[in-house]
Structure 1
Amino acid sequence: MNLHVDVPDEATDVRLGQFAVASQSSLQERRPRTLKHGDTFGVFDRNGDVLSGEGSPDGLFHRDTRHLSHLDLLINGARPILLSSTLRDDNAVLTCDLTNPDLYDEEGRLLLEHDVIHIRRSKFLWKSACFERLLVRNFGDRPQRLTLELRFEADFADLFEVRGTRRMRRGTFQPADVGSESVTLTYSGLDDRTRATRLRIDPAPARLEARRALFEVDVAPGQRTVIFVEVRCDDQVPQKRPREHYLSSMVEARRALRQSSSRAASIATSNEIFNEAVRRSVSDLYMLVTDTPEGPYPYAGTPWFSAAFGRDALITAYQTLWMDPALARGVLQFLAANQAKAEDPVADAEPGKILHEVRYGEMAELGEVPFRRYYGSVDSTPLFVMLAGAYLERTRDTTTLERLWPNIEAALRWIDVYGDRDGDGFIEYGRRTKEGLINQGWKDSHDSVFHADGSMARGPIALCEVQAYVYAAKRAAAHIASVLGMPERAALLEAEAEQVRKRFDGAFWCEDLGTYALALDGDKRLCRVRSSNAGHTLFTGIALPERATRVAETLMDASSFSGWGVRTIASTEARYNPMSYHNGSVWPHDNALIALGLARYGLKQEVARIFDGLFHASVYIDLRRLPELFCGFPRRRGQGPTFYPVACAPQAWAAATPLSLVQACLGLGFDPQARTVRLDRPVLPAFLDEIVLRNLAVDGCRLDLAVRRAGGEVATHVLGRTGDVRVEVTV
């Protein structure tokens, strides 16, 4: 089917940094602390403050609007000194320990020497609100009368404004509603929606104004006083006072985190640093999960992508399918409920297409950005079908698949009817209006698809990995059809998948490069570029067996493998820039998918190298938290990776990467019908002598399993089981 596709002239497009995050400050330099629950997240500095200023990402955000743009604490007019700033292992609470600096009177006389007053700030999010407890304790030998001041602002900026997009017009700020114990700040948007921030304070401050609260605090030696602050981003007015509401909400929040993460299998190893990284990964993952009517759904990442993204959630669910299939079910059901049913060029929507992104902010509501309900990703649709097939293989949940089958068929129709935009047998993308994303694969920067000479590719563009996803989607759909009792449909889909594979290999293989080309442009010219995209051909199995080793060699060559991981673009290519977003950086999730692909073809030593590189990168990273990406500079002895300034952390598919790498190394698979856990040629990376997996679920049974190094081999031991479940190991 030939569709009208807008082909932008990159030389005259004034928005080359289209919807990019402005790099006015480095998140890595600031190392902010992040909390999230549901559609609310907070970005705080290490003191627990929200600091305003040009380019500041700090704030309390709810549904893509910044409801608190400034909040800082002063003691006698001075900023406290930071002692420590820690997140609980489960991400439930941020605790900041502070103390007083030297405090002087107006005449310059020392009133209080430093390190006498201890202030502990404890913050958490729950149900559209930020709760804070300020505990002030006097460790001196004299009574102290202190003036504490909380200053606050709410700019109600849209998240895209915070990211750097300029707006010509704004809505109206209403006068603050100030009471004795509460302040409400209100904004009337151009979208005719009113957004409010309500601060409640307990006990009532000595003075409460529209932008600050003053407390006169008397603290005897060894004694303490406590102040509770609640910042709400909705119109709820709790009956409980902030003190009682803080305690009851904390119990609920921690219980909810325990319940959500308890259904997953757990990992423990012989390396305590890696155990810390795994605990943080699991905590980050479940913090990012938002409960929707259709089930749990991992939001992509904070601060810039705390929203429902199709591609990100599908890949995250795939990475964690072995340990928690409930996430995959929630993702599939949410995306099925939001599948496009009609053509809408502004939203890049076509019948059967799977969602790219949903936003709720003022700019999205007004159409200033196209992401209110946006479908401009070429890969979400085949990934949806892939995940459905993988979920069925993992769980044998035919009830869910029967319910999803109409959505799967609609997705397959989109691939066949709308995906092939110029009738050449490949799936291409091209934005339908000038407001849509220029590039619509996972590397969606404006400059991420180019030719060997560095010139930009013109659309419609057929990406290497998208053809691989289509192949895997057809095979997955064939399996589903077979299980659901549709053998003729299954046979047809298998035949179509084989046609895709032959056509792809003939068009994309570059013998001299030793890999598959990055893409095919609108003039049917190959983008002869060595890229990590080719690694996804291993992940899906579209690569012919005789090609797989060559692709792996190219990916693991020094021009592509930095020592920390595989670069998005090899250092030999024209647009290579190790500091770029997509043209030379290292993305953990990209490497996780490549590792799963290498494992598919039995290339386990290469898997172990990727695992080793990313693990040692995490050693140098705050909280052992793998970020969205880092720079692609070569690994240097005794030094950590170079950080990308505005990388999201936590990011769902980065958090899932260590979990996915465990699966790749062990070759972990499941046969629920036979109640069998399979290990295919398991290996352990050099930094691990043992991996223990507990609570592996198979068709209602449970298994605890240990894999240990035994000389040059590995040995498998069953530690416990519930039900008739067994283990098979292929060596």
Structure 2
Amino acid sequence: MAVDDVVLINDQWYVPAASSHTDESTRVLKHNDTFAVFDRYGDIQHLGIGEQGIYHQGTRFLSYFELSINQRRPLLLHSIVKEDNTLLTADITNPDLYQENQLVTRKGIVHIFRSKLLWNGVYYERIRLFNYGDKTLNLYLDIQFGADYADIFEVRGAKRCKRGQVLPVQHQGQELVFSYRGLDNETRRTRILSSQPPDNQGEGRICFAIELLPKEKKQFYLTIACEIETNKPAILTYQEALANSNQAVTAAGKRIGHVFTSNEQFNDWLNRSAADLQMLTSQTEQGNYPYAGVPWFATPFGRDGIITALQYLWLNPQLAQGVLGFLAATQATEENAAQDAEPGKILHETRKGEMAALHEVPFWRYYGSIDATPLFIVLAGAYYQRTADQPFLEAIWPNIEAALYWIDNYGDCDGDGFVEYARHSADGLIHQGWKDSDDPIFHQEGSPAEGPLALCEVQGYVYEAKKIAAKLATLLGETSRASELEHQAEALKKKFNQAFWCEEIATFALALDGHKRPCQIISSNAGHALFSRIANPEYAQKVAETLLSEASFSGWGIRTLATTQARFNPMSYHNGSIWPHDNAIVAMGLARYGFKDQAQQILSGLFDASITMDLHRLPELFCGFDRLPGQGPTLYPVACSPQAWASGTVFHLLQACLGLTFSEEKPQIRFYHPRLPNYLQRLEITNLRFGDAVIDLSLRRHLHDVGVNVLRKVGDIEVAVIV
């Protein structure tokens, strides 16, 4: 593992430019709390930042895995992850094989097919060999394994003063077992089983001597179980696991809406995004939850889960219910400085693994997020509007009230009417908005802003949260509470537009520092003020012009920071890069103020970017260089891919352009001034559910508007189009 490639600077993980997992394309599988990162061969190598491996509950259970033929690495023909993400397949072949310096088998005679999947904590692989030659071949298939039991934070670069005990490797017939006794007193085992006895084995290696007749096919299976003393998974056959995986994908598809267009490349983006969201979604006791991303964030994150659920809400409201249920169940109930926790605050992230269990990192349950709490209320209101599910709303109303209590009594730490952050945990995040690296908040000349910091977008989230909470309170018969919340929201809107607007840069300040001085920086954060509708209309127009200017819009998307700003760097994590989810939120804000052409411009830029990406998958972020003819975007070296809110981007963008909303009162689906770009002549939405009703719609682009036709309707549901 290339531990030296990752260093810790100012409490933030930093990866030097010499390290990159874009040096080699990787292939990702995930199911619930288990994920795997392979190279294109289907092996696990020590490359780049060394993130490849099979991980389970925050620990790497397999850190090395390589197949060789006659002590040589095969030649790669092709590898792909199936469109629904259930299966990784790799086609490889033999290189030139020598014996005593004599060529005995030319390359390309033996086809080796590998297919891999994950199911409930177990990895399954089928290896199939076929001899296309005209003579019998004697082959030696070596498979080497290694298990370092590195915590995910160790893989990211954390140095530990002490580790647990690596136990002796055990070879028992068709089983190979690695073990590690952690400092948390948990014994973790990697149990490797082969479907046939190896002909030789030792030191984490198994070898098969295979005689392959002309045109003969042989196959065998490997199974790798990730075992923890308190949680040992059931081991199935490859065929059983594959059948279960396929059934789960089919069942999930029946519960959600689907989108199909007249553009096949756009469909590739849609299909991969939907499949990635399905793969990243894990089961919790409260329902399904989208884990943030692979490899670094394969765990529940509050902000990420909420935004992903908002993006996908119109097609899959059950995901939002799972997110709300999980975050309500983990909402903080007491003060804990080590966790940045305060009563009513919504979770930032939760981790499993040895280091989290031992509190070597504060992320067992960590609450260092300034925006997850108001966004929780925003999602609750959007979920109710989408589903009219009043019983669930009533069940989480105490959590909504607790979140409002936190906003008023803890979020506004200096009593000025704005919500600010300053960390309490010595090991926690310095910056606690969505731009949570070590240097994203600064003044015009580049000097860092001193806290507590009131972020532009957070005030908008609080405004929208209180407007929504007022409506929900009215629904529940609490009229005086509703009036109070409505008054607070309007007062905040007035105060925000006065304090944050910066005429000199024609946009809202990035933040107010601890002395209430505005950080006069042109950033994408201002677009979030349109998303929440806190911006006055005359300011919204100027923000739109600023964000779509050449300094902010690269041609692929809106940069986090304009090129004219002091700390702009197109290769920076938050100071000049392009984040798909950020762009989708801005596009939704633009659409809410009527700027549909600008929203379509963002959609088109990211669509073009997706065409150039491996598997048509938008990563967490990419670099903010100008778009150049004949060239794709420049990748960011350690971006997560897939990332949940990057996967949800396309659905949010479409919703923005279509002006698609729901009314829980009718019930009714509404399209406000729907628009489609010229490369989408037709769009179909099928299996769109509202309560017991289901509807299929066909949308067709015309010169000046979009026509909407009902293809199928079952139950009580209306469609309204405002052109």
* TM-score w.r.t. length of structure 1: 0.96
By how many angstroms is 1:517 displaced?
0.1
Contact 2:673-2:705 at 8 Å conserved across structures? no
Mapped to 2, the partners of 1:392 and 1:625 lie a distance apart of 31
Tell whether 2:182 aligns with 1:185: no
By how many angstroms is 1:92 displaced?
0.3
Mapped to 2, the partners of 1:20 and 1:463 lie a distance apart of 24
**Which residue does 1:49 correspond to in 2?**
43
Tell whether 2:154 aligns with 1:161: yes
Contact 1:179-1:208 at 8 Å conserved across structures? no
Amino acid aligned to 1:153? G
Mapped to 2, the partners of 1:623 and 1:675 lie a distance apart of 38
Query: In structure 2, which of residues 308, 312, 315 is the aligned counterpart of residue 323 of structure 1?
Result: 315
**Which residue does 2:477 correspond to in 1?**
485
What SS does the aligned partner of 1:217 have?
Answer: strand
What SS does the aligned partner of 1:253 have?
Answer: helix
Mapped to 1, the partners of 2:254 and 2:654 lie a distance apart of 19
**Which residue does 1:393 correspond to in 2?**
385
Mapped to 2, the partners of 1:261 and 1:629 lie a distance apart of 27
Tell whether 2:47 aligns with 1:15: no
**Which residue does 1:88 correspond to in 2?**
82
Contact 2:11-2:427 at 8 Å conserved across structures? no
Mapped to 2, the partners of 1:129 and 1:490 lie a distance apart of 50
Contact 2:226-2:232 at 8 Å conserved across structures? no
By how many angstroms is 1:700 displaced?
1.6
Contact 2:286-2:325 at 8 Å conserved across structures? yes
By how many angstroms is 1:726 displaced?
2.0
Query: In structure 2, which of residues 498, 503, 510 is the aligned counterpart of residue 506 of structure 1?
Result: 498
1:432-455 CA distance string (max 9 Å, x none): 032110000000000011110101
* Residues 77, 122 of structure 1: alpha-carbon distance in 2 compared, 3 angstrom cutoff: same
Contact 1:133-1:228 at 8 Å conserved across structures? yes
**Which residue does 1:5 correspond to in 2?**
none
By how many angstroms is 1:504 displaced?
0.8
What SS does the aligned partner of 1:629 have?
Answer: coil
Tell whether 2:543 aligns with 1:551: yes
**Which residue does 1:407 correspond to in 2?**
399
Deviating more after overlay: 697-706 vs 81-90: 697-706
Amino acid aligned to 1:470? V
1:450-507 CA distance string (max 9 Å, x none): 1101011111111000010000110111111111221111111111111111111111
Amino acid aligned to 1:89? E
Contact 2:682-2:701 at 8 Å conserved across structures? yes
**Which residue does 1:369 correspond to in 2?**
361
1:536-576 CA distance string (max 9 Å, x none): 00001101112111111111111011111110001110000
Deviating more after overlay: 621-630 vs 668-677: 668-677
Contact 1:673-1:699 at 8 Å conserved across structures? no
Amino acid aligned to 1:629? L
Mapped to 2, the partners of 1:380 and 1:249 lie a distance apart of 36
**Which residue does 1:689 correspond to in 2?**
681
Percent identity of equivalent pairs: 51
Tell whether 2:25 aligns with 1:31: yes
Amino acid aligned to 2:382? A
Amino acid aligned to 2:114? R
Contact 2:21-2:49 at 8 Å conserved across structures? no
**Which residue does 2:4 correspond to in 1?**
none
By how many angstroms is 1:698 displaced?
2.0
What SS does the aligned partner of 2:632 have?
Answer: coil
Unaligned runs of 5+ in 1: 1-12
1:399-433 CA distance string (max 9 Å, x none): 00100000000000000000011111110111103
What SS does the aligned partner of 2:607 have?
Answer: helix
**Which residue does 2:418 correspond to in 1?**
426
Corresponding pairs, count: 715
Mapped to 1, the partners of 2:407 and 2:508 lie a distance apart of 22
Amino acid aligned to 2:26? P
**Which residue does 1:145 correspond to in 2?**
138
**Which residue does 2:451 correspond to in 1?**
459
**Which residue does 1:204 correspond to in 2?**
197
* Residues 126, 239 of structure 1: alpha-carbon distance in 2 compared, 3 angstrom cutoff: closer
By how many angstroms is 1:56 displaced?
1.1
* Residues 384, 23 of structure 1: alpha-carbon distance in 2 compared, 3 angstrom cutoff: farther
Contact 1:22-1:164 at 8 Å conserved across structures? no
Amino acid aligned to 1:673? E
Query: In structure 1, which of residues 108, 111, 116 is the aligned counterpart of residue 104 of structure 2?
Result: 111
Contact 2:555-2:605 at 8 Å conserved across structures? yes
Cα RMSD (Å) of the superposition? Answer: 1.4
Mapped to 1, the partners of 2:476 and 2:8 lie a distance apart of 51
Mapped to 2, the partners of 1:412 and 1:518 lie a distance apart of 24
By how many angstroms is 1:702 displaced?
1.2
Deviating more after overlay: 227-236 vs 470-479: 227-236
Q: How does 1:220-259 map to 2 (within 5 A)?
A: 220-235=213-228, 245-259=237-251
Q: How does 1:220-299 map to 2 (within 5 A)?
A: 220-235=213-228, 245-299=237-291
By how many angstroms is 1:374 displaced?
0.3
Amino acid aligned to 1:32? T
Mapped to 2, the partners of 1:412 and 1:672 lie a distance apart of 24
1:363-414 CA distance string (max 9 Å, x none): 2222222111100000000000110011111111000010000000000000
Unaligned runs of 5+ in 2: 1-6
Tell whether 2:580 aligns with 1:565: no
Tell whether 2:422 aligns with 1:443: no
Contact 2:19-2:48 at 8 Å conserved across structures? no
Query: In structure 2, which of residues 64, 71, 77 is the aligned counterpart of residue 70 of structure 1?
Result: 64
By how many angstroms is 1:181 displaced?
0.6
By how many angstroms is 1:609 displaced?
0.2
Amino acid aligned to 2:266? F
* Residues 54, 33 of structure 1: alpha-carbon distance in 2 compared, 3 angstrom cutoff: closer
What SS does the aligned partner of 2:227 have?
Answer: coil
By how many angstroms is 1:714 displaced?
2.0
What SS does the aligned partner of 2:92 have?
Answer: strand
**Which residue does 2:714 correspond to in 1?**
722
By how many angstroms is 1:21 displaced?
5.2
Contact 2:577-2:622 at 8 Å conserved across structures? yes
Mapped to 2, the partners of 1:335 and 1:343 lie a distance apart of 17
Tell whether 2:507 aligns with 1:515: yes
* Residues 234, 527 of structure 1: alpha-carbon distance in 2 compared, 3 angstrom cutoff: same
Deviating more after overlay: 404-413 vs 50-59: 50-59
Deviating more after overlay: 131-140 vs 718-727: 718-727
What SS does the aligned partner of 2:180 have?
Answer: strand
By how many angstroms is 1:17 displaced?
5.5
Mapped to 1, the partners of 2:465 and 2:704 lie a distance apart of 38
Contact 2:530-2:592 at 8 Å conserved across structures? yes
By how many angstroms is 1:53 displaced?
5.3
By how many angstroms is 1:24 displaced?
4.7
Amino acid aligned to 1:441? G
By how many angstroms is 1:706 displaced?
1.5
1:337-375 CA distance string (max 9 Å, x none): 000011000000000000001111222222222111100
**Where has structure 1 moved over 3 Å in runs of 4 or more?**
19-24, 235-240
Mapped to 2, the partners of 1:340 and 1:209 lie a distance apart of 50
